[in-house]
Amino acid sequence: MKVTKQKKLEAKGWKVGSVTDFLDLSEEESAYIELKLSLSHSLKEHRSKKKLSQIEVAKIVKTSQSRVAKMEAGDPSVSIDLLIKSLLALGASSKDLAKAIA
Partner DNA sequence: TGTTAATATGTCAGATATGACATATTATTT
Partner DNA sequence: AAATAATATGTCATATCTGACATATTAACA
Residue 9 sits in the site that holds DNA (CB under 7 A) = no
Question: Among 35, 102, 96, which Cα is nearest to 27's?
Answer: 35
Binding marks (x or -) toward DNA, 42..71, rule CB under 7 A? -----------xxx--x--xxxxxxx-xx-
Among 22, 32, 66, 69, binds a copy of itself (CB under 8 A): 32
Report the 10 Å Cβ neighbour count for 98.
Answer: 9
Smallest separation (angstroms) from DNA to the CB of 81: 5
Identity at 28, one-letter amino acid code: E
Question: Among 42, 65, 47, which Cα is nearest to 55's?
Answer: 65
In the complex, which residues of this chain contact a copy of itself (CB under 8 A)?
28, 31-32, 34-35, 79-81, 84-85, 88-89, 93-95, 97-99, 101-102
